[in-house]
Structure 1
């Protein structure tokens, strides 16, 4: 997967019954967009019935009601379809550890697996947009003045705005460090590099490319 570029991947977002599948929480909505060569080419969105009621807090937080979920397809059916959508593409989410846990849990229940690797736009933004007061998705979208129509905490809109945030960060790297073809693996490195060392990492990468 390391040879793949960061501007071609699947951006995903889950809405869930709670914070962790380890506590029995389940997915209630999946939203995703596919980016190919820096352009959004496809999208996927579905509510899914977790087989139990969601709390009033989750209803209020997401706007997804028990009545809406009562008519939704079961999780296993939706997740099987979503696994087909992902294919072997690399994956991106904002606060990816959360979404990765739910993706792996829901796919394990249906004996399916994904073939790509994950990276996190939240960790990348902390390093590439340090001037933002907060690195929540909503605040970053506001800080960068990214246009979009929809509601945060609905999966497809969050995935769409995460995609725009990601492409904006790739553009920053291109403009500041003159790296036009940014490997996915380099963005994984950026996300786990101490903030003060990120500029050196990108400068060194650019020099290595220029020497070939």
Structure 2
């Protein structure tokens, strides 16, 4: 199994057992998930997005995007945030069907995520267990971890918004919190991170248990229970 070993601690996590070489000259698959909420132990995946990427060439074709039938209602605040509605969930395919298509799409490529170690992978592992499926064995890079490794001076939570500001990326007009659109943002962040790795003479990412990633804080909107009518 190539997926990194992730150990969660209060407010942070570490990564072990992952080594990706030839970072600068490789074709990747950028991936992202949307869900009914942030808590990976109880929330349900609502959308997959994935797109090929190679440094210097940008995003490739084709891309992959599919809604997934959630096992619970989407809170109104999350509907508004993602644009994915409970009505759409009625017509969406079940997780096992979409997951099979997703695995076929990504092949054996190294995946690139943002905050995937603390959200995407735990969500996928739990869903696979619930459906009796095996999780893919692709190696997975996380822009949050890659950035943290080379910026020990940064004490902020390295969120997508933080990296957009840090790298001064223009995201105007992009439908944020859509899985495929967010793949495009992750790709731009990843390119900036790779540029920094090249400047430092780094062409590999090796997990180091001594380095800690600060976990995201669950936004208040996810903690508020829906008011009963």
Q: Given the two structures, how large is their TM-score scaled by the length of structure 1?
A: 0.75
Contact 1:48 1:69 in 2 (8 A): yes
For 1:10, the equivalent position in structure 2 comes to: 29
- Which of residues 40, 44, 48 in structure 2 aligns to 1:30? 48
Structure 1: segments with no counterpart, 5+ residues:
196-212
The answer to whether the aligner puts 1:141 opposite 2:128 as a matched pair is no
Distance 1:132 1:171 in 2: 21
The answer to whether the aligner puts 1:187 opposite 2:205 as a matched pair is yes
Pairwise CA distance, 1:16: 0.8
For 1:169, the equivalent position in structure 2 comes to: 193
Pairwise CA distance, 1:8: 2.6
Rate the CA distance shift 1:71–1:8 in 2: closer, same or farther, 3 A.
Answer: same
For 1:158, the equivalent position in structure 2 comes to: 182
Higher relative contact order (CA 8 A, sep 6+): 2
For 1:124, the equivalent position in structure 2 comes to: 146
Distance 1:3 1:59 in 2: 36
Structure 2: segments with no counterpart, 5+ residues:
3-18, 213-229
Contact 2:20 2:205 in 1 (8 A): no
Once superposed, which parts of structure 1, at least 4 consecutive aligned residues long, lie more than 6 Å away?
Answer: none
Higher normalized helix content (fraction of residues): 1
Contact 1:138 1:152 in 2 (8 A): no
Pairwise CA distance, 1:95: 1.0
Structure-to-structure mapping, 1:64-143, within 5 angstroms: 64-97=84-117, 98-108=119-129, 109=131, 111-129=133-151, 130=153, 135-143=158-166
Q: Give CA deviations for 1:112-163 in whole Å, capped at 9, x if unaligned.
A: 4312122221122234355696521123113212244412222112221111
Task: Number of aligned residue pairs: give it.
Answer: 187
RMSD: 2.6
